[in-house]
Amino acid sequence: MDLTVLGCGDAFGSGGRLQTSFYVQTGKHSLLLDCGATILPALHREGISSAEPDAVLITHFHGDHFGGLPFLLLEAAKRYQRQKPLILAGPQGLQQRLEKLLPMLYPGTEDVLESFPITYLTYKEGEALQLLDLSLQAWEVKHSPDSLPHGLRLEAGGKVLAFSGDTAWHNNLLPLSKGADLFICECNFLKGEKPGHLSWELLKPRLGQFSVREMRLTHVGDEVLEQQQTLSVKVLADGERLSI
């Protein structure tokens, strides 16, 4: 799998970083892992068309992870006249939330959802979904409960990519990431225990519990950015490319 970091910032764009989205290529297909509201500038920067992804996987219903879907669908339909089917996978209620969000942002554009075939898939805790040429598992994590937060595990071609989503410490992070070639883990704060998010102070003593080939930090705030050179785990950067 090849991964391009479209955005790895937090909800406030700390350090000028764009909101969360990763472009994943499996060899046969491509997909977006989360779709923050800054998705179109991020795609344009990387020369990627919004008509390219075969699927979009949403970890939870917060705007910096989910809010870019209307923009993505509008551009794909109106600018590129997309006809290729699209799979949208997420927590329970993804279709209903999108159908409410689109007319709120762009009244009169509801027909976009009929422009090309869309298939909706709903996560079931720990159960594998077969999606394109990969296997997808979703695990509940600890974030704002109303956002229905999940971490995701993708397996394709014998490789494993795991993503924590937004979360405080949760024991599900261990099976979610077990044996992963790359585990992308949120670390919003440097110290202390914050609701719904991890801090480096809490994550560092638990690093030995993870059995992963490589871990990278995402969704970091200003404090973590300022101290990133002192951390034993590297922080992702917008525009970075990784292969696993």
What is the Cα 196 distance to its own chain's centre?
Answer: 16
Burial class for 192, CB neighbours closer than 10 Å (0-12, 13-18, 19+): exposed
Task: Please count the CA atoms within 13 angstroms of the CA of 240 that sit on its side-chain side.
Answer: 17
Number of domains making up the chain: 1
Q: Which residues of 173-183 are buried (b: 16+ CB within 10 A; e: fewer)?
A: beebbeebbbb
pLDDT at 220: 98
pLDDT for residue 193: 85
Q: What confidence score (pLDDT) does residue 43 get?
A: 98
- Provide the pLDDT for residue 152: 98
Q: What is the pLDDT of residue 226?
A: 97
C-alpha–C-alpha distance, residues 240 and 104, integer Å: 33
φ/ψ (deg, to 5) at 146? -65, -15
Per-residue model confidence (pLDDT) at position 208: 97
Q: What count of other Cβ atoms lies within 10 Å of the Cβ of residue 208? A: 7
Instruction: Report pLDDT digits (tens) over 88-102.
Output: 999 999 999 999 999
Structure confidence at residue 27 (pLDDT): 86
pLDDT value of residue 202: 96
**Which residue, among 196, 211, 92, has the nearest Cα to 160 in the 3D structure?**
211
Note the pLDDT of residue 65: 98
Entry pTM: 0.97
Element (H, E) at 24: strand 21-25
Q: Which CATH number belongs to the domain containing residue 94 in this structure?
A: 3.60.15.10
Q: What is the pLDDT of residue 51?
A: 95
CB 176, CB 139: distance < 8 Å: yes
- Where the chain has pLDDT below 50, the residues are none
φ/ψ bin of 99: left (φ > 0), alpha (ψ from -120 to 50), beta (otherwise): alpha
Q: State the helix-helix crossing angle for 69-78 and 39-46, rounded to 10 degrees.
A: 50
- Given a contact cutoff of 8 angstroms between Cβ atoms, the answer to whether 129 and 102 are in contact is no
Query: Which residue range forms the structural domain that includes residue 122?
Result: 2-243
Q: What is the pLDDT of residue 194?
A: 86
Angle of CA points 134, 165, 137, to nearest 5°: 30
Reduced to 3 states (helix: H, G, I; strand: E, B; else coil), residue 168 is strand
